[in-house]
Amino acid sequence: MTPKDIVTTDTLPAHPNEPHAAGISGRLNWLRAGVLGANDGIVSVAAIVVGVAGATNDLAPILTAGVAALVGGAISMALGEYVSVSSQSDSEKSLIAKETHELQEMPEEELEELAGLYQAKGISRETARKVAEELTAHDALAAHLSAELNIDRNDLVSPWRAALASAIAFTVGGLIPFLAILLPEAIRIPATFVLVLLALAITGALGARLGGSRMLRPTLRVVIGGVLALGATYLIGTLLGTGMA
């Protein structure tokens, strides 16, 4: 066997039913994060506006609470995502710098290390050495980052993109209960409950679909969680509104 005989997923043609296209894993991760962000926006904003609506029928405080929940939640989500992804990005850049230094200072040791990694995957010593030599000649840093750290230096995470995506997802999800609570007073609460639970069912099913699992149980978990959140805040708002009346 020669290095050219080794088949990788990069050389195989993509099956029409399998997502082997380049970057598909990253895109799926972004989509999952978007679904989770939207789900968070739905529950957070809905819980706040329903709680306030339980305390008062006056639209002004409900609207104020809804706007505050949307803006504050979106900023909070964006900030949290930015900090988290920045830490990951800094770590990846540090690892790349470390690997670059090691390749410059001890290339032979690094070549042996790379060969050992392929040998540990079941390739013979001779073939592993040839693979390591060819990959090193082509792009030593890329070979080591991929084999050792599973990092692609051309596809590092972006804190700003992550923050923006998180804020947008939260806002899109939060707009559903925000707009629903502005309906006429007679149908305001029941309509918000129905629309929010329907939206949660959709995001729950989509999240399960993206994760490759069956939809029923994850969808039920999300919907039940939404029922508990809305029920609890509405009850608290009603009790506070009654007590302050």
Residue 6, pLDDT score: 42
User: Cβ(70)–Cβ(245) under 8 Å?
Assistant: no
Element (H, E) at 18: none
Distance CA 140, CA 220 (A): 48
User: Cβ(176)–Cβ(187) under 8 Å?
Assistant: no
Q: Which of 46, 52, 54 shows the shortest CA–CA distance to 179?
A: 46
State the first-to-last Cα distance of the chain, in angstroms, to the nearest integer. 83
User: Cβ(135)–Cβ(114) under 8 Å?
Assistant: yes
Distance CA 205, CA 216 (A): 7
How do the domains of the chain map onto residue ranges?
3-7+28-244
User: Cβ(92)–Cβ(151) under 8 Å?
Assistant: yes
Q: Which of 104, 182, 178, 177 shows the shortest CA–CA distance to 144?
A: 104
The pTM score is 0.73
pLDDT of the chain along its 245 residues, tens only?
Answer: 444 444 444 434 444 444 444 455 555 666 777 788 889 999 999 999 999 999 999 999 999 999 999 999 999 999 988 998 888 888 888 888 888 888 888 888 888 888 888 888 888 888 888 888 888 888 888 888 777 777 777 767 778 888 888 899 999 999 999 999 999 988 999 999 999 999 999 988 887 887 777 888 888 998 999 999 999 999 999 998 765 55
